[in-house]
């Protein structure tokens, strides 16, 4: 069985739930009550229950907000993950995440994309677990462009683990050409059947008519 890498975004549900239940030792609380204690643990354990083969050779990284609570939650989760799933998870604090939305999300996308590419290059399957901290759409683009095999989360209505497959789509060639400096914004707009103002309105272009920085970072040298 191929190794599997899980890129796990982390919120602070563990801290909130521990406070609610009066728990002092948050690691023990997480280990003893993982599904109640933590959205991240609940998702990972649900995935293992539905697809146990994915956990025969697992590795994981936990992406925390750049806050004291974010670090504390991620460090406690790393210990709980090691005890519950027998995998040593690396904690990564994402600069500006939780402080500056756009910069933080960009840094998160870059780090997730980098780790997913590294895992895939080493022969692993890669899944982004997006239950904690952000909605799945926040990291879906990064996961797709980095070549992840899927995005996992707990469905809010049905309360069960689901895997969102990476649909075989691609960024329009005109966007790639614009990113490489081969065409200007006018030709980009014409190729997409829109005008430049619409490209700014939907966020593809910035007000100074550069490519959205998140998309530019994810495209890299494409």
> For residue 159, what is the domain's CATH number?
3.40.50.10770
pLDDT at 169: 44
Residue 157 has pLDDT above 90, yes or no: no
Rounded Cα–Cα distance for residues 132 and 78 (Å): 14
Q: Can you say whether residue 87 is alpha, beta or left, with left for phi > 0 and alpha for psi between -120 and 50 degrees?
A: beta
27 and 112 both lie in a single domain: yes
pLDDT band at 24 (very low <50, low <70, confident <90, very high): very high
Report how far apart the first and last C-alpha atoms of the chain are (Å, whole number): 31
185 and 161 both lie in a single domain: no
90 and 114 both lie in a single domain: yes
100 and 138 both lie in a single domain: yes
In terms of Cβ atoms closer than 10 Å to its own Cβ (0-12, 13-18, 19+), residue 202 is exposed
For the residues 55-74, what does the mean pLDDT come to? Answer: 95
How many residues comprise the chain?
A: 222
Which of the pair, 90 or 113, is modelled with greater confidence?
Answer: 90
124 and 190 both lie in a single domain: no
139 and 51 both lie in a single domain: yes
Instruction: Count Cβ atoms below 10 Å from residue 93 Cβ, excluding itself.
Output: 18
Residue 134 has pLDDT above 60, yes or no: no
13 and 96 both lie in a single domain: yes
Residue 73 has pLDDT above 50, yes or no: yes
The closest of 176, 181, 169 to 204, measured between CA atoms, is 176
Domain count for the chain? 2
Give the full edge-to-edge strand order of the sheet including 161-165: 89-93, 58-64, 4-9, 125-129, 150-154, 161-165
At residue 144, what are phi and psi to the nearest 5 degrees?
-65, -50
Give residue 102's domain range.
4-165
212 and 143 both lie in a single domain: no
179 and 158 both lie in a single domain: no
pLDDT at 148: 75
For the residues 21-46, what does the mean pLDDT come to? Answer: 95
For the residues 109-116, what does the mean pLDDT come to? Answer: 86
pLDDT at 141: 56
Q: Regarding beta strands 161-165 and 150-154, do their DSSP bridges make them parallel or antiparallel, or are they unpaired?
A: antiparallel
Rounded Cα–Cα distance for residues 64 and 92 (Å): 6
Q: What is the pTM of this model?
A: 0.75
């Amino acid at each position: 069985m191929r190794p599997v890498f899980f890129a796990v975004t982390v919120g602070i549900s563990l801290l909130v739930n521990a406070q609610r239940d009066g728990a002092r030792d948050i690691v023990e609380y997480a280990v003893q009550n993982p599904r109640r204690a933590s959205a991240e643990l609940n998702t990972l354990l649900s995935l293992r229950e539905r697809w146990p083969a994915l956990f025969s050779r697992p590795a994981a990284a936990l992406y925390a907000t750049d806050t004291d609570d974010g670090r504390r939650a991620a460090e406690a989760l790393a210990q709980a993950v090691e005890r519950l799933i027998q995998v040593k998870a690396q904690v990564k604090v994402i600069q500006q995440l939780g402080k500056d939305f756009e910069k933080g999300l960009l840094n998160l996308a870059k780090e997730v994309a980098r780790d997913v590419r590294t895992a895939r290059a080493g022969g692993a399957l890669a899944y982004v677990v997006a239950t904690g901290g952000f909605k799945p759409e926040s990291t879906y683009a990064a996961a797709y462009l980095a070549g992840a095999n899927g995005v996992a989360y707990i469905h809010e209505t049905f309360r069960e683990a689901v895997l969102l497959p990476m649909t075989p789509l691609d960024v329009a060639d005109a966007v790639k050409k614009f990113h490489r400096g081969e065409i200007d914004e006018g030709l980009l707009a014409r190729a997409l059947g829109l005008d430049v103002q619409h490209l700014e309105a939907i966020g593809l272009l910035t007000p100074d008519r550069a490519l959205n920085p998140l998309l530019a970072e994810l495209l890299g040298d494409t």
